[in-house]
Structure 1
Amino acid sequence: MSRTIVLTGASDGIGAAAARRLAGDGHHVVLVGRSAAKTEAVAAELDAPFFLADFAELAQVRRLAADLLAAHPRIDVLANNAGGIMGERELTVDGHEKTFQVNHLAPFLLTELLLPALVSGRATVIQTASRAAQLFSRFDVDDLQNAHRYAAHRAYGNAKLANILFTQELQRRYGDQGLSAVAFHPGVVGTSFAGETNHVLRYLYRGPLRRLFTVSPDKGADQLVRFAEGTPGSTFQPGAYYEGHRIASGVSREATDPRVADELWERSAAMV
């Protein structure tokens, strides 16, 4: 059965790879990207509709949501795939630390604004998280803006942990209305992901080590495609975070604390 699938971060990497596979399977894929040239190129290749938005500006997220709702009153899948690791600590025009906003606040806001269409479609909401949540996070709900002891990798790990917590809380709040949320780690994917950082991870993703330690975007897209086409309760457990085909374990104490998930939601809602 063909599904309407809204896919952010669709202009490159696993987003573009997933879009190609989902469109090839007959789904109505709606692309969202930041780069006009890259997004238009993928859209032209797939003959798919597209929208542009920079998640570093929440006004663009609000405009994106309004345009999506006007065009698609029912959405079957929302894949919150856009994100990235940044360099030095930077505030957006909205006054939020950029890593936190791009990776968590913007998709949180987009999901909230699209709820009418998502509930109508009994949608699956997918978060592209990362094992960085386990490796790098030092999560402090009182310092969501990473104002203290900032490091690019730590801010990214915190944001990816926020993706996992958001998935759990979205499921708790809206699961009884038919929504199903899931988060996953795509693997270390050889993309332009680390292009905005001066962190050592840039050399892993973009340097000569890339071929040794990364997987292809198409391989990284495997789980995103599986969840987008899957059946909640059968293909995946709603509210869970996956690494490979298994629910991940040992992420962190905060990742399984419903009080932290609830507090993150309330504070995020107040910020946007």
Structure 2
Amino acid sequence: MEAKTIVITGASDGIGAEAARQLHHHGHQVVVVGRSASKTNAVGDELGVDRHIADFSRLADVRRLAADLRAARPRIDVLANNAGGIFGDRTKTGDGFDLTFQVNHLAPFLLTHLLLDVLTTSGASVIQTSSAGARLFGNVALDDLEHDRDFTPQRAYGTAKLDNILFTQELHRRFHDRGISAAAFHPGTVASNFASSSGNFVQRVYGSRLTRLLMSTPQKAAGQLVWLAEGRPGTDWESGVYYERRKPAKRIHPQTRDSNVARQLWDESMHLLKLPRG
């Protein structure tokens, strides 16, 4: 298998760290990105790979990360937008956005956008870690993307994960003919530090000893990210598709069937981030 350069965000813990380990073991050049300096450096030191510290609740960090990656990596074969999470009470970031919306959607959208020329030149795959929560809790209201009117932590998270799928579809529509492939996937219910700061019932569920016995391990859940990262788009998986258990999901949110929603979400994200439209 030809070695790839693979950038993984949210790689300081959980499935991101496990995917980094497996991909490094398979001979790929892995670059790990994480919010926690101590945890990210620990993974980087363990594997002997490059690492970058970036907090996605600060868009300035995302812009700095993109600049650093561009300077260090003229080729990126895979960008795995894995960072994300469910949080507690409604919180605004310093950039003025809901924390869940920014960390799960706007930040990876911005990072991908700022790396587009590198990704297109590389013929890269862009992978989004989404969730079945998109189908269960998500709903994109284009006039209320941050759920100002009806916020709950799980609703905000479900919608952000739905945003990931819609972003995948629109990225495919706009850039597949320029060389980019895109996929989103549900990793399963994983026994990790996910939801550890949510402060709600989701945290209690994920923290339950009994529940964790029934969950997938990060090692197993990372296998799907590894499969997409190593796979050949068009042969092993199809671009623009949301996967569960390495197969196109059978149950999907109705809004993922509406290309206008994906297109308008893209345009509104560009507007919120003040990105030039070209």
User: So what's the TM-score if we normalise by structure 1?
Assistant: 0.98
Question: 1:181 is matched with which residue?
Answer: 182
RMSD: 0.8
* Structure 1 residue matching 2:200: 3-state secondary structure: coil
Corresponding position of 1:204: 205
- Structure 1, unpaired ranges of 5+: none
Kindly indicate whether residue 120 of structure 2 is the aligned counterpart of residue 113 of structure 1. Answer: no
Task: Return the alpha-carbon distance in structure 1 between the equivalents of residues 131 and 3 of structure 2.
Answer: 28
CA distance in 2 between partners of 1:17 and 1:99 (Å):
23
Distance 2:203 2:251 in 1: 26
1:196 is displaced (CA, Å) by 1.3
Contact (CA 8 Å) 2:139, 2:162: kept in 1 or not? no
SS in 2 for 1:20: helix
Contact 1:136/1:157, CA 8 A, preserved across alignment: yes
Question: Which residue identity lines up with residue 41 of structure 1 in the other structure?
Answer: A
Secondary structure class of the residue paired with 2:234: coil
Runs of 4+ in 1 over 2 A off after TM superposition: 209-213
> Who is 2:251 aligned against?
250
User: In the comparison of the two structures, how many residue pairs are matched?
Assistant: 272
* 2:63 aligned with 1:67: no
Q: Deviations over 1:17-38 (max 9, x none)?
A: 0000000000000000000000
Alpha-carbon distance in 2 for matches of 1:225, 1:172: 24
User: 1:249 Cα deviation (Å)?
Assistant: 2.6
Percent identity reads: 54
Q: Deviations over 1:168-211 (max 9, x none)?
A: 00000000011000000000001111011012111222221333
Q: Distance in 2 between matches of 1:213 and 1:152?
A: 23
Change beyond 3 A, Cα 1:38–1:210: farther
Alignment of 1:10-89 (within 5 A): 10-89=11-90
1:209 counterpart SS class: helix
Aligned to 1:241: 242
Q: Is residue 32–residue 50 contact of structure 1 (8 Å, CA) maintained in 2?
A: yes
Q: Deviations over 1:212-254 (max 9, x none)?
A: 3311001110110000000001111100000102111332211
User: Are the equivalent residues in 1 in contact too, given 2:18–2:219 (CA < 8 A)?
Assistant: yes
C-alpha separation in 2, matches of 1:209 and 1:33: 29
1:169 equivalent in alignment to 2:170: yes
The aligned residue for residue 2 of structure 1 is: 3
Asked if 1:145 corresponds to 2:158, the answer is no
Higher alpha-carbon deviation: 254-263 or 206-215? 206-215
Report if aligned partners of 2:168, 2:184 keep a CA contact under 8 Å in 1: yes
- Aligned letter for 1:183? A
Q: Deviations over 1:125-159 (max 9, x none)?
A: 00000000011113212111110111000000000
TM-score by length of 2: 0.96
* SS of structure 2 residue aligned to 1:211: helix
